[in-house]
């Protein structure tokens, strides 16, 4: 039969492993942020903030009324949850927000993406179990030169 001290030792060991996984995930996130991001502007209404984002994609499948499957590819922006503060405190992405990405350093084009996900899907999801990173789903709506 386990003694109270062996039960607490086991609990402490499990806690330490959990902490190790958390620390490892934090380290990997810091490396992603440092080496795999570019500047974009997140905009909600007239409020905006420059944030660092990693570019990704998500493929969505949706059946229409006749049963045909439509595939839609979303351009995703992975952004630190703590960075998404446009002035009134931390926010979560919502449909209609915009992400503006400048491509080219001299007279570059600005690609405008609207936060959106097809088929009633949420416009973002957390990209890690600790909710440090948001994967924001968007669609291209305009190009400004």
Reported as a single tens digit per residue, the pLDDT across 82-96 is 999 988 889 999 999
Is 101 in contact with 111 (CB distance < 8 Å)? yes
Q: What is the pLDDT of residue 106?
A: 66
Domain residue spans of the chain: 1-35, 36-144
How is residue 97 written in tokens? 């927000």
Q: How confident is the model at residue 119 (pLDDT cuts 50, 70, 90)?
A: confident
């Amino acid at each position: 039969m386990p003694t109270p001290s062996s039960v607490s030792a086991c609990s402490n060991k499990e806690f330490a492993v959990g902490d190790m996984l958390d620390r490892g995930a934090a380290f990997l996130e810091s490396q992603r942020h440092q080496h795999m991001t570019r500047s974009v502007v997140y905009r909600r209404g007239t409020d905006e903030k420059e944030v660092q984002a990693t570019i990704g994609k998500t493929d969505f499948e949706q059946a229409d009324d006749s049963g045909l499957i439509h595939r839609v590819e979303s351009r995703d922006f992975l952004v630190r949850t703590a960075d998404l503060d446009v002035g009134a405190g931390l926010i979560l992405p919502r449909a209609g927000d915009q992400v503006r990405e400048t491509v080219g350093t001299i007279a570059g084009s600005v690609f405008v993406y609207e936060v959106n996900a097809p088929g009633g899907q949420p416009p973002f999801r957390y990209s890690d179990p600790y909710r440090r990173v948001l994967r924001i789903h968007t669609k291209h709506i305009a190009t400004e030169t």
